[in-house]
Amino acid sequence: MRQIRIGAGAGYSGDRIEPAVELAERGRLDYLVFECLAERTIALAQQARRRDPHLGYDPLLAPRMRAVLPACRRAGTVIITNMGAANPVAAAELVCATAHDLGLGGLRVAAVTGDDVAAAVSAGACRILEDGRPVAALGANLISANAYLGAEPIVQALAAGADIVITGRAADPSLFLGALAYEFGWSLADWPRLGQATLIGHVLECAGQVTGGYFADPGFKTVPGLARLGFPLAEVGEDGSAIITKVEGSGGCITTATCKEQILYEIHDPARYFTPDVVADFSQARVEQVEPDRVRITGGSGHARPEALKVSLGIAEGFVGEGQISYAGSGARDRAELAAGIVRERLELTGVAARELRFDLIGVDAIHGPGLPAGGARAEPYEVRLRVAGRTATAEEALRIGNEVETLYTNGPAGGGGVTKQVREVLGVLSTLLPREQVQPRVQMLES
Amino acid sequence: MKLRTIAHARTGDKGDTSSISLIAYDEADYPRLARHVTAERVAAHFAGILRGGVDRYEIPSLGALNFVLHRALGGGVTRSLALDTHGKSLSSALLDIEIPDF
């Protein structure tokens, strides 16, 4: 039976680069996929593109491509990535220029566009899924609206001879499904097979998270060689069966347990996992350790694809201001609590307009608050870091929160040290649905 | 005993919703998980941070449960004031739940 070898070169935008190089050089891959686009990333990228029309793609695009292109060219490995973010055409131009610099002429680079649906959702009757408001009510606060594209334009780009396919917002598993459907000539209406391929894509899409990354728990779950964790590849058969494995000698491990965690990662109802291509069903998924670091994954299925596409909306939601200060030694907790009370009172006295405030004692109750059992006990830690965070309408107001923590140096309890403060702009992410026919993906081919 | 003795877990997030898998190390322990770790039990454990309900899904073929916690992340990763904006640490908190030794 014919097999395709497909690897995952990144699990998020800032991921390590060397494991992808290892895969490209030693994985004997047909395809190398880089999934680099989180929900929030595309809104940030849209802001970058507004400042400069030549920007808006993934900041690591050029270094990643420079690192893997020579090996991919030698092995004939096709690259698929969503590193185009808000500007796939500019990204494709940059990849062509990078290839040219490396002396790699004649590479065909496809840019997939059409996911930017800001005009359609603003003009239409779309409602925000989370709160039911019309999208139009967001007005100028709407920064970006990007529909999740499916595998179809990726299949088109591959059929047109692309060596590299660069998308913007596409569903993560669709990057993998596109390659498999093209190679095996699967119908894009073969729902059970698309469901199984989506399961494979979902297992691969976070890269190191299935090879033992984000898994180790000393005394319970052991993972060898995490500092040189290998990234995964799947050997996929024409019938959709898959073995998940990694390059021999790389760090990490692939076990039924690592695969189970990743199968259930970030999904809600396992029987109804929505993508643009299929409503996938993972509820009968099975994993089987066939050899060390080789796990067979079967049992994925699916039903007809949804009629509407999910759209991610990036929304300007003001600012968050934050300040931190540490107390240590005898009575550290009491002094930190006193400091928190002072800042709370000061913010009221000086009229800082914070819509929401949070006071954390890091090391005591900062992560889950006093509500979870372990946080409720009166602990006496050696050191405590007070963190104050608040939401404001302007950057100036946000800065005042950090300033009130900073003035504790000379005006607060004894022995406070190590103040840090920061202000960040908040880009909220909400969702809406758009009828499929209002989204028109396009493929544009460039050559290096 | 603590759930941690017989199961492992991973947290994921979508907006303000957290999903937490709970997976038996030994599939023979799955019925115990299914019996003791109900949606109500999980909702009570996380009452301090939850502002919505909890759904539970069963995946016996993987010896696993999946819990979906609504309005659990202070607005979600992009806007939350929390230190752990993704809620990544919730899986470890789930494993603190005590269950009977049978």
pLDDT digits (tens, 9 = 90+) for B76-101: 887 889 889 899 999 999 999 999 98
A90 sits in which H/E element = helix A88-101
- Has residue A379 got a pLDDT over 70? no
pLDDT in tens, A239-293: 999 999 999 999 999 999 999 999 999 999 999 999 999 999 999 999 999 999 9
How high is the pLDDT of residue B45? Answer: 95
- Has residue A372 got a pLDDT over 80? no
- Has residue A377 got a pLDDT over 80? no
Q: What pTM was estimated for this model as a whole?
A: 0.94
pLDDT in tens, A175-214: 999 999 999 999 999 999 999 999 999 999 999 999 999 9
How high is the pLDDT of residue A365? Answer: 84
Q: Which amino acid is at A235?
A: E
- Has residue A71 got a pLDDT over 90? yes
| CA–CA separation, A382 and A336 (whole Å) | 12
How high is the pLDDT of residue A125? Answer: 84
DSSP line for A182-238: HHHT--TT-HHHHHHHHHHHHHHTTGGGGTTTTT-BTTTB--S-GGGBPPEEEEEET
Contact B55, B33 (CB under 8 A): no
How high is the pLDDT of residue B95? Answer: 96
DSSP assignment letter at A137:
G
| CA–CA separation, B71 and A227 (whole Å) | 35
C-alpha distances in Å from residue B24, one per residue of A295, A317, A322: 18, 41, 40
Contact (CB<8Å) B93/A368: yes
How high is the pLDDT of residue A376? Answer: 52
User: How many angstroms away from the CA of A268 is the closest CA of chain B?
Assistant: 6
Q: Is A391 helix (H, G, I), strand (E, B) or coil?
A: strand
Lowest-pLDDT range, A76-80, A130-134, A418-422, B39-43? A130-134
| CA–CA separation, A339 and A343 (whole Å) | 6
How high is the pLDDT of residue A378? Answer: 63
User: How many angstroms away from the CA of A313 is the closest CA of chain B?
Assistant: 11
Q: Is B62 on the interface with A (CB under 8 A)?
A: yes
Contact (CB<8Å) B78/A283: no
- Has residue A75 got a pLDDT over 90? yes
C-alpha distances in Å from residue A407, one per residue of A400, A411, B23: 10, 6, 48
How high is the pLDDT of residue A371? Answer: 62
The candidate with the shortest Cα–Cα distance to B6, out of B98, B88, B84, is: B98
How high is the pLDDT of residue A375? Answer: 46
Cα Rg of chain A (Å, integer): 24
Q: Which amino acid is at A89?
A: V
* ipTM of this complex: 0.96
Using a CB-CB cut-off of 8 Å, the residues of chain A touching B41 are: none
Span A356-380, average pLDDT = 76
Contact (CB<8Å) A387/B83: yes
Q: Is A89 helix (H, G, I), strand (E, B) or coil?
A: helix
Question: Could you give the percent of chain A with pLDDT greater than 90?
Answer: 89
Burial classification of residue A348, based on how many CB atoms lie within 10 Å of its CB (0-12 exposed, 13-18 middle, 19 or more buried)? exposed
Question: Could you give the percent of chain B with pLDDT greater than 70?
Answer: 100
- Has residue A43 got a pLDDT over 60? yes
Span A320-337, average pLDDT = 94
